[in-house]
Structure 1
Amino acid sequence: MKENLALAMNRFLEYLQIEKNYSSYTVEFYKKDIEHFSLFMQEQSIATFNDVKYFDARLYVSSLYERHYARTSAARKISSLRSFFKFLLREKIVDENPFILVIQPKKGVRLPSFLYEEEMEQLFSSCDDRTPLGKRNLALMELLYATGIRVSECANIQLDDVDFDLSTILVKGKGKRERYVPFGIFASQALESYINGARSLLFDRSDHRNLFVNARGGPLTARGIRHVLNEVMKKASLSGKIHPHMFRHSFATHMLNNGADMRTVQELLGHTHLSSTQVYTHVTKEHLRKTYINSHPRA
């Protein structure tokens, strides 16, 4: 039984990697969700995936709630298993998809946290650009804020990906999708200052072309970027914790607040679906409401 379950799962994971071109990170989540459901099958003495019925799927979802799984985690597991059984149905391994009618729990709307423009200025001012690491940190933050790219995308940028003539960078996003993202004069100046006056002082290896390097000259990883931002936050004396996605959230929020249309922001962020970008409208609506209350004489 275990061999048959493992074989079906491996075929599905290969399908995600080869046909769907999903990242290894995403595939790993699918694998964990299916393995979790396989343990449930063992508890219920269900021998094969074809033996799973709608009642079993409902019972599994109930067990998630009883174990106090967050709504987002439960929704992801249901979505993973629905896709998994859809694949098994296509491959004629099962006769039906027991998760097709299972209702996903509604996700609560979590508003993205962002920094106000004044807070961004405070962060930039806290960088001492007279030192090599200070120049790097300023260039890093200016680029994150100017483009809204993900921290993983930023960590993978190569020197050849930056085009100063067109003020664009080539970004390799999720699912190996590529896009060109423009950057402005502040990011351009900070990048040129870093590349010409700091990177060569930090860099001591010839086996990589990563744009951002750490204090030892190696590639600056996503974890390293997170550490850099937390240290800058402390120096800037801003309350609360900063995380890389706050630059992305701030980019999108400020763009929309200043008149950019949703489709443009979607393309710049590299979102496949507009619904991923629309979460920022909650923030911009709140901004409009506060502006109205503070500005209208009869508000």
Structure 2
Amino acid sequence: MESIIQEYREYQSVIKGYTPKVVLGTERELKKLTKHLEEHSLNFQSVKLVDLENYCIERTEGKSLGYRNLIVSQTRSFFTYLKQQEYCFDNPSIRLSYTNLDTHQALPEVASLEEIQDCLKELRRQVNSFLGRRQFAPIRKRNLTLFALMYATGIRAGEAANLLLSDINLGGTGSQYSGW
């Protein structure tokens, strides 16, 4: 199993172009996975989905959801590689889910339609207000536009923050919403 991990490390470095830090972190994690499999008399060919789920649960107990997702992602990528290289015939990790490991996790709260409409009204009021300093008018317009974009499309704040002007279709071929 050690030689397969070394091959995977080279694959990540050369083919995928991952940074040395990512490659080293993945190698460390895969060594822990192989140790876990050996302790349970398993190998890459005999491991089942439930074994991988149990490993991920044990490995990430008390850790953040982001860390849990990292472990799942590393495991899934590795088993995809194993199948591509014909080290195993089945990829049990393909059904390994990022979300089903913690059934007690609460969903985030979502603003009601009324709360969103109130926010839009307030942002519109600020844009149209002459009471504030005029130098802030472009910032208020930007805020209204970003809020309306996020509400209308469902994109995340980080995705909206990373938008470039070139990402926007100014041709007007999409649907128009005149409510803003």
Shorter chain as denominator, the TM-score bin is 0.5 to 0.7
- Report deviation, 1:276: 9.3
2 CA distance for matches of 1:44 and 1:279?
A: 46
- Report deviation, 1:278: 1.6
Partner-residue secondary structure (3-state), 2:16: coil
Residue 67 of structure 2: aligned partner = 73
Residue 11 of structure 2: aligned partner = 15
> Is 1:59 aligned to residue 46 of structure 2?
no
Residue 278 of structure 1: aligned partner = 159
Change beyond 3 A, Cα 1:278–1:91 = same
User: Which ranges in structure 2 are unaligned for 5 or more consecutive residues?
Assistant: 109-138, 147-154, 163-180
> Is 1:86 aligned to residue 61 of structure 2?
no
Give the letter for the 1:42 counterpart: E
- Report deviation, 1:50: 1.1
1 CA distance for matches of 2:19 and 2:58?
A: 29
Give the letter for the 1:54 counterpart: L
> Is 1:26 aligned to residue 22 of structure 2?
yes
Q: Which runs of 4+ in 1 moved over 2 A?
A: 105-109, 256-262, 274-277
Change beyond 3 A, Cα 1:59–1:19 = same
Count of residues paired in the alignment: 118
Partner-residue secondary structure (3-state), 1:51: coil
Give the letter for the 1:60 counterpart: Y
- Report deviation, 1:51: 1.4
1 CA distance for matches of 2:21 and 2:157?
A: 19
Alignment of 1:132-143 (within 5 A): none
Change beyond 3 A, Cα 1:257–1:103 = farther
Residue 102 of structure 1: aligned partner = 96
- Report deviation, 1:79: 0.2
Preserved CA contact (<8 Å) 1:58 1:102: yes
Change beyond 3 A, Cα 1:11–1:276 = farther
2 CA distance for matches of 1:32 and 1:258?
A: 49
2 CA distance for matches of 1:56 and 1:94?
A: 15
- Structure possessing the higher relative contact order (Cα contacts under 8 Å, 6 or more residues apart): 1
Give the letter for the 1:278 counterpart: E
2 CA distance for matches of 1:279 and 1:30?
A: 30
- Report deviation, 1:95: 0.9
How does the TM-score come out when normalised to structure 2?
Answer: 0.55
Change beyond 3 A, Cα 1:29–1:279 = farther
How does the TM-score come out when normalised to structure 1?
Answer: 0.34
Alignment of 1:1-299 (within 5 A): 5-46=1-42, 48-65=43-60, 67-105=61-99, 259=142, 277-278=158-159, 280=161
2 CA distance for matches of 1:68 and 1:93?
A: 33
Partner-residue secondary structure (3-state), 2:33: helix
User: Which ranges in structure 1 are unaligned for 5 or more consecutive residues?
Assistant: 110-255, 263-273, 282-299
Change beyond 3 A, Cα 1:21–1:45 = same
More strand by proportion, 1 or 2?
1
CA displacement, residues 64-113 of structure 1 (integer Å, 9 cap, x when unaligned): 35x3222211110110010001011000001111111111038999xxxx
1 CA distance for matches of 2:24 and 2:157?
A: 22
Identity percentage over the alignment? Answer: 18
1 CA distance for matches of 2:54 and 2:23?
A: 25
Cα RMSD over matched residues? 3.2
